[in-house]
Amino acid sequence: MTTMTMAKALNEGLRAAMRADEKVLLMGEDIGTLGGVFRVTEGLKSEFGPRRVLDTPLAESGIVGSAIGLAMRGYRPVCEIQFDGFVYPAFDQITSQLAKQTYRHGGAQSFPVVIRIPYGGHIGAVEHHQESPEAYFAHTAGLRVVAPATPHDAYWMIQEAIAGNDPVVFLEPKSRYWPKGEVDLSASGAALHASRVVRRGTDVTLIGHGAMVATLLDAAELAAAEGVSAEVVDLRSLSPIDYAPILESVRRTGRAVVVQEAPQQVSVGSEIAATVGERAFYSLQSPVLRVSGYDTPFPPAKLEGVYLPDVDRILEAVDRALAH
């Protein structure tokens, strides 16, 4: 066991992947000499050189398009999108090309491209620097979408994503880059696409991913002080979603609250709520509730505290679930 931030865990995970396979290379804006805006790639250019840690032009479509070509030649490119709101110029390359290439080739050609995207709020940033675009990619057949919530998961999941043969959108909750946590360097403890119960409870199941997991744990702690036992499930993977632990939990507690930073309409949270309602209907003692960002563009920094789900909004939903 060692203790490190998520940014450092990602850095070490990338380093381990690059040492294990010389075909792994990194691409992105300011990731080399600067080490990235969040310093996730700090020191990697000096260790592996500019041919494996490439500072690219400010052209997201070009970054992903080049990565597709490199994958066809046997490389395992890892692209960094500097901020969540910058991914849209590459959207066509990701959804129309990368996601479909393996299917188009009848499985004869693999495309092991990882696209790292810092996402979400909580850092007081300006427009285009705080968004939650996960639903776009989770909706796209051919893409895997994952989001670690802890340094331990970040360290292992980035390596597993790089080692796989499918394209992966790797969402990094930017507000969790700096808090420290324990990392077991000897074992991951869970497969890349496995959801996991991170707190046991009996009265209600709280479901979330990324930065929301820490908020759910805070809410569960406060609920416990009021005599309510809340179980917390960390999704970890948004496509595919591992429903087994979710459904097992809901069938025991009889109640579910799904929490996300993203807007609610046509979202990952909506999909989970629908699936729980469909597959655990006879165990539910109340409707599945959702707590999310609002169906508006992400607001100016001074209003993000109103927009983002917090402990109070989660506990209010718990109260409503328990009222049935």
Residue 47 sits in a domain of what CATH number? 3.40.50.970
Nearest to 213 by CA among 253, 262, 258: 258
Same domain? For 21 and 88 the reply is yes
In a shared domain, residues 299 and 163: no
Task: Name the H helices within 60-98.
Answer: 60-72, 91-92
- Asked if the structure places residue 190 within a domain, the reply is no
Domain-terminating residue out of 155, 183, 211: 183
HSE-CB at 144 with a 13 A cutoff on CA atoms is 23
Contact status, residue 116 vs residue 148, Cβ threshold 8 Å: no
Q: Which residues pair with 183 in a beta bridge?
A: 2
Phi, psi angles (nearest 5°) of residue 221? -65, -45
Tell me if 77 is assigned to some domain: yes
Has residue 188 been placed in a domain?
Answer: no
Structural domain includes residue 283: yes
Residue 202 structure tokens: 């009996």
Q: Confirm whether 314 is domain-assigned.
A: yes
From 183, 207, 231, the end of a domain falls on 183
Residues 179 and 202 in one domain: no
Looking at the structure, do residues 122 and 226 belong to the same domain, yes or no? no
- pLDDT tens-digit series, residues 210-265: 999 999 999 999 999 999 999 999 999 999 999 999 999 999 999 999 999 999 99
Same-domain pairing of 244 and 160: no
Residue 75 has pLDDT above 90, yes or no: yes
**What's the pLDDT score for residue 127?**
85
Asked if residue 157 belongs to a domain, the reply is yes
| Domain membership of residue 240 as a residue range | 196-322
CA distances (Å), origin 303, targets 22, 75, 166 = 45, 43, 38
Q: What is the predicted pLDDT for the residue at 109?
A: 92
pLDDT(165) > 90: yes
Rounded to a whole number of angstroms, the CA Rg of the chain reads 19
**Does some domain include residue 189?**
no
Residues 109 and 258 in one domain: no
Q: Phi and psi (nearest 5°) for 205?
A: -105, 125
Residue 124: strand, helix, or coil: coil
pLDDT 10s digits, 173-189: 999 999 999 999 999 99
Extract the tokens encoding 6: 């998520």
Q: Is the pLDDT of residue 147 over 90?
A: yes
Q: Model-level pTM?
A: 0.96
User: Between vectors from CA 51 to CA 186 and to CA 56, what angle results, nearest 5°?
Assistant: 100
Strand order in the sheet with 53-55: 53-55, 24-28, 76-80, 114-119, 168-173, 144-146, 237-239
**97 and 11 part of one domain:** yes
- Just list the catalytic residues: 129
Quote the pLDDT of residue 125.
85
Q: 237 and 161 in one domain?
A: no
CA-to-CA distance for 213 and 208, rounded, in angstroms?
6
Q: How many domains does the chain have?
A: 2
- Do 166 and 27 sit in the same domain of this protein? yes
What is the reported pLDDT for 23? 98
Whether 276 and 128 map to the same domain: the answer is no
Are residues 209 and 292 part of one domain? yes
Could you report the per-residue pLDDT of 279-313, keeping only the tens digit for each?
999 999 999 999 999 999 999 888 999 999 999 99
225: domain CATH number is 3.40.50.920
pLDDT 10s digits, 100-133: 999 999 999 999 999 999 999 988 888 888 899 9
Question: Same domain for 105 and 141?
Answer: yes
Do 28 and 36 contact (CB within 8 A), yes or no? yes
Asked if omega into 89 is within 30° of 0 (cis), the reply is no
End position of a domain, from candidates 161, 183, 205: 183
Token pair recorded at residue 288: 């599945």
In a domain, residue 191? The reply is: no
Instruction: Identify the pLDDT of residue 308.
Output: 95
